[in-house]
Amino acid sequence: MTTYFYTASSLDGFIATEEDSLEWLFKQDFDEEGPMAYPAFVEKIGALIMGANTYEWLLENGGEWTYEQPTWVLTHRELGTPEGSDVRFSQDAGLAHEQAVGAAQGQGVWIVGGGGLAGEYARAGLLDEVWVQFAPVTLGSGKPLLPVAVDLELVDVARNRHFVCTRYRVVKPGTIGQGSK
Ligand SMILES: NC(=O)c1ccc[n+]([C@@H]2O[C@H](COP(=O)([O-])OP(=O)(O)OC[C@H]3O[C@@H](n4cnc5c(N)ncnc54)[C@H](OP(=O)(O)O)[C@@H]3O)[C@@H](O)[C@H]2O)c1
């Protein structure tokens, strides 16, 4: 079972502006059937975990809830759920991961965002892979990609139209040099 952080980022390491805008991202060109694209990625995924701001962004901007996989939202607040969704709320990132792994039934768990939450999982040794599509834009400030110190091993890199797509393995103690899965 693999836990992924799959996200797009500005070249200077932000996944959204301070105001949670993704306008800079959606104006870029990306081939949905090209290297490291979302449709093939999400087929590996059996459960999702996300922070409250990512969840609220999806509710406000994402249209209908399209995820069939069970989703855990980390929050201290009471938030609504879209019709037909399988969304659970948690204040315990470790427990949410344990439950998501169980629900995923051998498929992957996707940490959708934000970077702080992905970092929390990396620090806890629960994050296995980081996939980042870098857009040709700098934002100067915003919501950080991965605001923790973590060693990564580059497993794959490809161009997808405007993006440099990268895939890294999170280096955990005792795993250096073991190569990709
Ligand atoms: N570029 C991309 O591909 C991409 C991908 C994903 C997300 N995004 C965007 O990036 C932004 C991410 O926002 P963000 O950096 O603020 O991160 P976030 O993780 O989405 O939201 C942070 C909030 O989640 C809650 N939270 C996080 N960890 C928690 C924990 N361990 N326990 C309890 N609650 C927890 C807290 O909210 P409360 O305390 O208020 O409940 C916290 O303030 C969003 O705008 C999202 O749309 C972009």
pLDDT digits (tens, 9 = 90+) for 48-67: 999 999 999 999 998 899 99
120 CA closest ligand 1 atom index: 31
Q: Which residue has the tokens 């923790």?
A: 148
Give this prediction's pTM: 0.96
Burial class (CB in 10 A: 0-12, 13-18, 19+), 15: buried
Burial class (CB in 10 A: 0-12, 13-18, 19+), 173: exposed
Q: Tell me what percent of the residues of the chain surpass a pLDDT of 90.
A: 93
Q: For residue 178, how far is its CA from the centre of ligand 1 (angstroms)?
A: 32
Sign of the alpha-carbon torsion through 176, 174, 128, 130: negative
Q: Is 76's C-beta closer than 6 angstroms to any atom of ligand 1?
A: yes
**Predicted local confidence at residue 172, as pLDDT:** 86
Q: Is 117's C-beta closer than 6 angstroms to any atom of ligand 1?
A: yes
**Predicted local confidence at residue 180, as pLDDT:** 40
86-109: average pLDDT: 98
Q: Is 119's C-beta closer than 6 angstroms to any atom of ligand 1?
A: no
Provide the pLDDT confidence category of residue 181 given band limits of 50, 70 and 90. very low
